């Protein structure tokens, strides 16, 4: 059996405290490496914090941004990866060489390389520019991985293209669960009092994070991204206080059939470790389905319907 061990982290980030958040990622990377993992994912914007960003004036938002690969966070991730001998991924805010601001996710690898994905559907701040390309790369050990950040995974086209580019493993860092909105059939806000009282009443908060505001919501669609493409999926997420919302964690690893290999059910920070059986890839149902594709019929997928709008507009009217 050809196994590749991965770890995924659910963590609570401190808003704007990049050094403290990176130090926490360092500690968990050490734990993941000690457990034999070859790769550890931290959540989207785990270095900067996330939801508070939407309310920052441009100047304060810009002050959090840094270049890639020469910024302190990328250099820090490279050092963490080198020191622990494990690939490590984390997210933050980038100031590009073009002067624009992006939402990157950087995977630093123990051989000194990095992979960078800029979120394609960025929306949290009006100063952000969306990325314009997909990201597939080879991890040490020969596993080909793709990165899609949170909302990127919502669109089945993004996942399918990443798979068609050769990804065997989708890295899916998120900040989700407990999201507010007008639609009663979506997640809904978790009462912050339940989180703050979790040490006295763990059952109450766990009902929320495992129900339709957290795991229940994810299980409606996330396994299909793995199954329908015949790829493994590693889901990392925030947990706990995220400005005025409570993230639900639910860190998990899915196999090529969409089955949960390992997951967290904790209302707390947690590290989830699982072995990917790479021998499952060849005969995975989703890969067999992909081989029966009819590309000559799919031109409509590349045509605008006139109904398209920016992710930011759609997200903030939910």
Number of Cβ within 10 Å of residue 278's Cβ equals 18
Residue 139 has pLDDT above 70, yes or no: yes
Q: Is the pTM of the predicted complex or chain greater than 0.85? A: yes
Q: What is the pLDDT of residue 1?
A: 58
The closest of 129, 143, 47 to 89, measured between CA atoms, is: 47
3-state DSSP call for residue 302?
helix
Average pLDDT over residues 174-193: 95
Residue 152 has pLDDT above 80, yes or no: yes
Stated length of the chain:
318
- As a whole number, the mean pLDDT across the chain is 97
Structure tokens at 137: 């790369």
Q: In angstroms, rounded to a whole number, what is the distance separating the alpha carbons of residues 247 and 267?
A: 9
Structure tokens at 302: 């590349």
Q: In angstroms, rounded to a whole number, what is the distance separating the alpha carbons of residues 142 and 200?
A: 46
Per-residue DSSP letters for 110-174? TTS-EEEEE-TT--SSTTB----S--EEEPTTS-EEEE--GGGGGSHHHHHHHHHTT-SEEEEE-
pLDDT digits (tens, 9 = 90+) for 260-271: 999 999 999 999
Hey, which residues does 239 pair with through a beta bridge?
248
pLDDT digits (tens, 9 = 90+) for 35-59: 999 999 999 999 999 999 999 999 9
What are the CB-based long-range contacts (under 8 Å, 24+) for 194-199? 194/246, 195/240, 195/241, 195/246, 195/267, 198/267, 198/268
* Cβ–Cβ < 8 Å for 54, 124: yes
Quote the DSSP letter at residue 55: G
Residue 230 has pLDDT above 80, yes or no: yes
* Cβ–Cβ < 8 Å for 163, 172: no
Which residue blocks in 180-280 are alpha helix, DSSP H?
192-196, 202-210, 215-218, 222-227
Among residues of the chain, what percentage have pLDDT more than 70? 100
Residue 228 has pLDDT above 90, yes or no: yes
Structure tokens at 232: 């493994």
* Cβ–Cβ < 8 Å for 107, 171: yes
Task: Map 187-198 to HEC letters.
Answer: CCCCCHHHHHCC
Q: What is the pLDDT of residue 291?
A: 96
Domain boundaries defined on the chain: 3-292+309-315
Q: What's the CATH fold of domain 3-292+309-315?
A: Nitrilase/N-carbamoyl-D-aminoacid amidohydrolase (3.60.110)
Res. 3 pLDDT band, cuts 50 70 90: very high
Which residue blocks in 35-96 are alpha helix, DSSP H?
58-64, 72-84
Average pLDDT over residues 144-155: 98
Q: What is the pLDDT of residue 71?
A: 98
The alpha carbon of residue 183 and the mean position of all alpha carbons in its chain are separated, in whole angstroms, by 23
Average pLDDT over residues 166-176: 98
pLDDT digits (tens, 9 = 90+) for 231-253: 999 999 999 999 999 999 999 99
* Location of structure tokens 């805010």: 93
* Cβ–Cβ < 8 Å for 250, 218: yes
Q: In angstroms, rounded to a whole number, what is the distance separating the alpha carbons of residues 102 and 249?
A: 24
3-state DSSP call for residue 27?
helix
């Amino acid at each position: 059996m050809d196994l590749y061990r991965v770890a995924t982290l659910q963590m609570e980030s401190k808003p704007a405290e990049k050094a403290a958040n990176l130090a926490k990622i360092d500690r968990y990377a050490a734990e993941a490496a000690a457990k034999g993992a070859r790769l550890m994912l931290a959540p989207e914007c785990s270095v900067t914090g996330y939801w508070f960003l939407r309310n920052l004036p441009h100047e304060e938002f810009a002050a959090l941004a840094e270049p890639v690969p020469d910024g302190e966070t990328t250099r820090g991730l490279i050092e963490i990866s080198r020191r622990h001998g494990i690939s490590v991924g984390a997210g933050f805010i980038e100031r590009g060489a073009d002067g624009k601001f992006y939402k990157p996710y950087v995977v630093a690898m123990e051989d000194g390389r990095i992979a960078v994905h800029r979120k394609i559907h960025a929306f949290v701040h009006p100063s952000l520019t969306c990325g314009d390309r997909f990201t597939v790369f080879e991890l040490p050990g020969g596993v080909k991985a793709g990165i899609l950040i949170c909302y990127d995974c919502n669109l089945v086209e993004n996942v399918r293209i990443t798979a068609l580019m050769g990804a065997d493993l989708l890295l899916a860092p998120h900040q989700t669960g407990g999201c507010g909105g007008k639609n009663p059939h979506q997640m809904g806000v978790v009462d912050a009092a339940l989180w703050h009282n979790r040490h006295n009443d763990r059952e109450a908060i766990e009902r929320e994070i495992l129900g339709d505001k957290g795991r229940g919501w994810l299980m409606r669609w996330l396994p299909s991204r793995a199954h329908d493409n015949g790829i493994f999926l590693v889901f990392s997420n925030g947990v706990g206080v995220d400005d005025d919302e409570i993230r639900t964690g639910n860190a998990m690893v899915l196999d090529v059939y969409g089955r949960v290999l390992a997951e967290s059910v904790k209302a707390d920070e947690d590290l989830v470790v699982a072995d990917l059986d790479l021998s499952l890839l060849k005969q995975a149902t989703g890969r067999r389905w992909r081989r029966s594709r009819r590309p000559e019929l799919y031109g409509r997928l590349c045509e605008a319907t006139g109904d398209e709008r920016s992710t930011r507009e759609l997200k903030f009217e939910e």
